[in-house]
Structure formats: C-alpha cells, structure tokens
C-alpha cells in the first residue's frame, strides 16, 4: 500500500470514528446529562414512552409514538437546539422560529398578525359579546372589557422592516369597531395610553412578549380611574412614586426561551416593588371554583397559587369585582385589591393542564356565585387572533364552575 492510499485510509477511519461518536453520543448521554424542561422551554409536556398494546392499532401507532418520545428525550437535545438557534441568529441573522422576529437593537418580537376576520367570524364575535352583555346586565353586573396592546403595537419601530408593521386596518381594529358599533359594553383600549407614555420608561421586555411592570401600572391606573367614574367611593389609583423600584435582570424571557437562547437575549429594567399596606388581604378561593384536575387541598389552601386569587378589604362602601385575565395581570393584582371590598381573580392559564381552562374567557358559574358589582375581562391583542369563540351561553351555564374546557 502506497503513502497516498495509507493517508486516504487513515482519513476514512477518522471520519468513520467521528461519525460513530456523533451517532452514539446522544444515546450515551440520554440519561447522564440534564436536559431542559420542555414544560418551561417549549410550553408543552414531553412525549411519553409508547403505551404497551398488542392490538393492531397499538402496534401501528408504536413507531410514531416512539419517534416522538425519542425526539423529546435523546441526549444532547437541548444543547443541539441551542447551537442551532445560535447559528441562525449569529450567522444567518434570522429567527429559528417563523412566529418570532429578530428586531432591532437586540429585541425579540412576535410576528405581527395581518390576517383580517371574515364576516362570519365577526358575526360570531358579536354574538358572543352580545350574549355576555345581556347575561351580565340581567344580573345588574357592570361589564368592563380591557384590551391590552401587543408589543408590536407599541414598538413597531423595533420590527426589522416597514413591511411587517400593522396598518390602520387590522383584525384588532375590526374587533374593537365591531363591539363599539353594536354593543354598549364599556371598552378600555390601553393602546393609546401606552403610546402616549413611551417617553416615561420602557413598556415591554426586549426578550419577552409581556409588558413591563411600568406598563402594567399604567394599565392599573386607567382601569381604576374607569371604575371610579361608576363608584365614587373607590380610592384613586396610586401614583407611581408610591411604589418601591428595583432593577431586575430578566434571563428567562418567553420569546428567548422559545428559541433556546435565554443566555443570549438578556434584559434588565426597573420593576415596581411593594406597595404600602392599605388593608386588603388574601383568602382561599372556594374549592368548587377550581378545575377538578387541579383542586388538591394544597392548591386550594395556597392563597397565592396563581389560578384563583381572592382578596377582601373591610370597607362596606367599596364595590366587588371579578377579573378574568391572563399572565399580563399576574404581578399587579395587589394594586387592584386595595380598591375593592372583594376581588376574585381568575387566571385562565391552567398551570397543570398547560391550556386555557375557561371556555372563551368566560365562566358564568363563578360569576353567578360571586355576583360582583363589576366583571372585568382583560384581553390581550394576541388572544383575539388565536381563536374565535364558538360557544353559547347555554352550554357555558350548563357547566359547573370548575369544569375544564377541553
């Protein structure tokens, strides 16, 4: 064998060795190296081991179920996903996920939704909200619909190009115009307010789609000012200077987490801390309000469990309220509680089921049981596009308070 053949043989063997190592490494490290929790990283549960079944249907399903299990559990998965995302961002200057946009100055944004609603969809929206309004009005419950803007609505200049920016005609504006023209629901659109407050501080995280604590505080002030027009006994909202402020380093923004680059996209901004104690206190929510899959004694007794939160204040002159909200309102609930004799907060995201457990953001059974003076529905722009509710009040009323919507 000549020197050239010997060299070629050596390179081939080296190539085969590296190939075998690459194939074996994920299997060898499947149990030894820690992997990211998919529940946190991708907002879903990892695929389970295939079910044992000797039926024809079970055997036919096994390859697909095993493939899903292996894809979620093989060794070095999180490291490979992280490296792939890094290549996309650093070398290709593009997002590894189509629904997330690499913005200017290190910002991450959700790709703006430009789809308009059809006439049938708009009629379904109108039907749902007219039914809600009629049902609440028959019980002398005031209805306040609060619509929070998306990050892209407030910072369109951070999108990489003008083509992505929303025009004056959007699904969001269709939705608001529809309700304003065909119902007398009190609608509080927070977009104009936040656009006017941009100079007072950053209103959204750079690595997350949530608004900042400062924006949440501005929203709180606007909501309480609206409630105060109905009930003069309600205390005026706190001014910003009455809260403590600290700097927070945010390393787990949900947009950064979705592309496995939490360590690359880091944000730091002031956060609002504690508020002066003014009398509101938390109490356990009634057990019957919880979805059955989540109603354990430990959860029910935990007044800060997240999914249901109840506060009371010893002032008979204050109104009562039920809030239906999502994570945008989670960190500012204590601000609201000081303005109500009793406040029930229902967070629609179910931490255990990883889904929304209240059908179409409305649960008549809880509202009926509480019979508040005010029902406040807090809706963010992104939710308007996710699905048009296809429910009617009869089907909702027939469900118990804690029934899951799956």
List, for residues 210-252, the tens digit of each pLDDT value. 999 889 999 999 999 999 999 999 989 988 765 556 667 777 7
Q: Which two tokens stand for residue 326?
A: 């999502």
How far from the centroid of its chain's Cα atoms is residue 48's Cα? 25
| HEC letters along 274-296 | CCCCCCCEEECCCHHHCCHHHCC
Residues 140 and 147: their CA atoms lie apart, in Å, by 22
Query: Are 402 and 289 a contacting pair, CB within 8 Å?
Result: yes
Enumerate residues 6+ apart whose C-beta is below 8 A from 339. Answer: 224, 227, 234, 235, 237, 318
Residues 166 and 385: their CA atoms lie apart, in Å, by 14
Q: Which two tokens stand for residue 5?
A: 């053949």
Count Cβ atoms below 10 Å from residue 73 Cβ, excluding itself.
Answer: 17
Q: What H or E segment, with its residue span, contains residue 22?
A: helix 3-28
Enumerate residues 6+ apart whose C-beta is below 8 A from 370. Answer: 320, 322, 342, 344
Residues 400 and 210: their CA atoms lie apart, in Å, by 31
Residues 271 and 324: their CA atoms lie apart, in Å, by 24
Query: Are 104 and 157 a contacting pair, CB within 8 Å?
Result: yes
Domain ranges of the chain: 3-82, 116-245+275-397
Residue 77: what pLDDT? 64
Query: Are 268 and 247 a contacting pair, CB within 8 Å?
Result: yes
Residue 404: what pLDDT? 43
- Among all chains, which residue has been given the structure tokens 């100055």? 105
Query: Are 320 and 342 a contacting pair, CB within 8 Å?
Result: yes
Residues 39 and 144: their CA atoms lie apart, in Å, by 33
Residues 214 and 8: their CA atoms lie apart, in Å, by 65
Query: What is the DSSP secondary-structure string of 44-72?
Result: SPPPPPPP---SHHHHHHHHHHHHHHHHH
Alpha-carbon distances of 205 from 188, 251, 331, 378, rounded to whole Å: 23, 11, 14, 20
* pLDDT in 10s for each residue of the chain, 406 residues: 555 555 567 777 777 776 676 666 565 555 554 555 545 555 556 667 677 777 776 667 767 766 666 666 565 666 777 778 878 888 888 888 888 999 999 999 998 887 888 998 899 889 989 999 999 999 999 999 999 999 999 999 999 887 777 666 788 999 999 999 999 999 999 999 999 999 998 999 999 999 998 899 999 999 999 999 999 999 899 887 655 566 677 777 889 988 888 888 888 887 666 566 678 898 988 888 877 767 677 777 777 766 788 999 999 999 999 999 888 888 788 889 999 999 999 887 655 545 555 555 688 888 999 999 999 999 988 888 876 665 555 555 444 445 444 3
Helix intervals (H) in 98-212: 119-137, 151-154, 171-182, 191-196
Query: What is the DSSP secondary-structure string of 226-269?
Result: HHHHH-TTSPPPPPGGGS-EEEEEE---HHHHHTT-TTTS-EEE
How far from the centroid of its chain's Cα atoms is residue 171's Cα? 19
Q: What is the pTM of this model?
A: 0.80
Residue 406: what pLDDT? 34
């Amino acid at each position: 064998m000549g020197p050239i053949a010997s060299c070629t043989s050596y390179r081939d063997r080296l190539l085969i060795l590296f190939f075998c190592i690459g194939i074996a490494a994920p299997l060898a490290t499947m149990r030894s190296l820690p992997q990211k929790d998919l529940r946190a990283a991708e907002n879903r549960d990892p695929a389970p081991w295939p079910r044992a079944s000797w039926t024809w249907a079970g055997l036919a399903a096994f390859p697909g179920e095993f493939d899903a299990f292996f894809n979620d559990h093989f060794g070095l998965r999180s490291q490979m996903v992280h490296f792939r995302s890094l290549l996309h961002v650093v070398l290709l200057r593009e997002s590894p996920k189509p629904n997330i946009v690499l913005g200017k100055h290190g910002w991450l944004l959700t790709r703006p939704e430009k789809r308009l609603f059809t006439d049938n969809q708009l009629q379904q929206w109108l039907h749902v909200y007219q039914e809600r309004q009629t049902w609440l009005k028959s019980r002398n419950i005031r209805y306040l619909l609060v619509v929070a803007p998306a990050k892209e609505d407030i910072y369109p200049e951070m999108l990489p190009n003008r083509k992505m920016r929303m025009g004056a005609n959007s699904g969001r504006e269709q939705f608001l115009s529809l309700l304003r023209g065909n119902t007398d629901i009190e609608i509080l659109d927070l977009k104009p307010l936040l656009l006017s407050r941009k100079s007072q501080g950053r209103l959204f995280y750079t690595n997350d789609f949530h608004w900042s604590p400062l924006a949440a505080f501005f929203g709180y002030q606007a909501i309480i000012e609206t409630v105060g027009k109905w009930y003069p006994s309600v205390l005026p909202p706190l001014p910003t200077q009455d809260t403590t402020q600290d700097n927070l380093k945010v390393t787990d923004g949900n947009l950064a987490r979705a592309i496995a680059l939490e360590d690359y996209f880091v944000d730091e901004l002031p956060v609002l801390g504690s508020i002066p104690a003014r009398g509101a206190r938390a109490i356990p929510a009634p057990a019957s309000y919880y979805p059955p899959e989540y109603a354990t004694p430990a959860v029910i007794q935990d007044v800060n469990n997240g999914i249901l939160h109840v506060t009371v204040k010893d002032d008979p002159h204050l109104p009562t309220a039920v809030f239906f909200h999502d994570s945008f309102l989670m960190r500012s609930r204590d601000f609201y509680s000081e303005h109500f004799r009793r406040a029930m907060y229902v967070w629609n995201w179910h931490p255990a089921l990883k889904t929304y457990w209240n059908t179409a953001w409305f649960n008549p059974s809880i509202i009926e049981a509480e019979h508040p003076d005010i029902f406040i529905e807090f809706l963010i722009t992104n939710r308007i596009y996710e699905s048009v509710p296809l429910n009617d009040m009869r089907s909702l009323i027939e469900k118990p308070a804690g029934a899951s919507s799956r």
